[in-house]
């Protein structure tokens, strides 16, 4: 997959640039829960038989972040001792996106070969369009770190502010119901990106509390019965959790 290869090259390049040959490094592993809210966007639906090309304008979404399977993120951060202001990270974010198909939206384009431009319930054409087992991001991040407050026994600061940016492939598990035919599968969703920031608070012997905000971009193209759909997903994430430094 091209996006996978591109992300792998990015991680390798960053490690070569920032890693001293024999430097001892620190690691931080983190697990987070939280909530993601996806902004309204225009969904493109393309069906080959019958010939249908539609746009559903300004579709709203819900996240259901605290319903099973919950929103979560896991991350590993590598910090070279000689450059403690930077971290190289691998991160998995499991967010969820549900189109509000029961609401009226503007539908424009061609439906079964006939032009249409009307405000109708989205469920008239698409009964379900979601990524409930995750719009999964697999990201390589660069994090810039700045410590504040007292120094602990290991030489680290009690409070660390972090800003990060990342890029990598997405792997949505999409569920759809179009023309009364249900489809559900994991698939490649193209490239996703994130920017964000957060704060780490030292608690006890390497244990830390973490709070952070993320903004992610992705436009996964998912398979539906007889065609595909593109769901532009721009999401605000608010996450909290714990981390361990070693």
Q: Which has more confidence, 148 or 78?
A: 78
* Phi and psi angles of residue 187, each rounded to the nearest 5 degrees, phi first: -160, 165
107, 56 contact by CB (below 8 A): yes
pLDDT on residue 6: 55
Q: Report, as an integer, the average pLDDT of 90-99.
A: 97
Structural domain range at position 196:
2-245
What are the pLDDT digits (tens) for 27-74?
999 999 999 999 999 999 999 988 999 999 999 999 999 999 899 999
- Give me the number of domains the chain comprises: 1
Note the pLDDT of residue 4: 45
Give, for 18, the enclosing helix (H) or strand (E): helix 2-18
Distance CA 203, CA 4 (A): 36
The token pair at 107 is 């539908």
The confidence score (pLDDT) of residue 149 equals: 74
Alpha-carbon distance of 227 to 86, in angstroms, equals 44
CATH code, domain with 169: 2.40.160.20
Quote the pLDDT of residue 12: 54
Contact in structure between 33 and 210 (CB atoms under 8 Å): no
Residues 6+ apart with CB under 8 A from 233: 38, 41, 61, 97, 135, 216, 217, 218, 219, 220
What is the number of other CB atoms lying within 10 angstroms of the CB of residue 33? Answer: 13
Confidence at residue 11, expressed as pLDDT on a 0 to 100 scale: 52
**CA dist., res. 236 & res. 56, Å (int):** 22
pLDDT of residue 9: 57
State percent of the chain over pLDDT 70. 88
């Amino acid at each position: 997959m091209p996006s996978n290869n591109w992300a792998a090259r990015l991680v390798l390049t960053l490690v070569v640039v920032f890693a001293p040959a024999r430097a001892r490094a620190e690691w931080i592993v983190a697990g987070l829960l939280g909530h993601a809210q996806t902004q309204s966007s225009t969904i493109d639906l393309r069906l080959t038989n019958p010939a249908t090309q539609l746009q559903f304008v300004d579709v709203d979404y819900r996240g259901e972040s605290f319903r099973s399977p919950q929103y979560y993120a896991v991350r590993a951060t590598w910090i070279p001792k000689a450059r403690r202001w930077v971290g190289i990270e691998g991160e998995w974010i499991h967010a969820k996106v549900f189109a509000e198909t029961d609401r009226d939206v503007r539908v424009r384009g061609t439906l079964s070969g006939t032009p249409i431009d009307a405000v109708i319930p989205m469920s008239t054409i698409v009964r379900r369009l979601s990524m409930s087992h995750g719009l999964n991001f697999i990201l390589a991040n660069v994090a810039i770190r700045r410590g504040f407050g007292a120094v602990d026994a290991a030489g680290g600061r009690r409070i660390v502010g972090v800003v990060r940016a990342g890029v990598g492939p997405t792997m949505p598990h999409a569920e759809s119901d179009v023309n009364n035919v249900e489809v559900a599968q994991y698939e490649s969703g193209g490239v996703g990106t994130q920017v964000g920031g957060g704060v780490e608070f030292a608690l006890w012997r390497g244990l830390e509390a973490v709070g952070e905000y993320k903004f992610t971009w992705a436009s996964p193209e998912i398979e539906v019965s007889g065609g595909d759909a593109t769901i532009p997903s721009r999401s605000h994430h608010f996450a909290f959790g714990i981390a361990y430094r070693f």
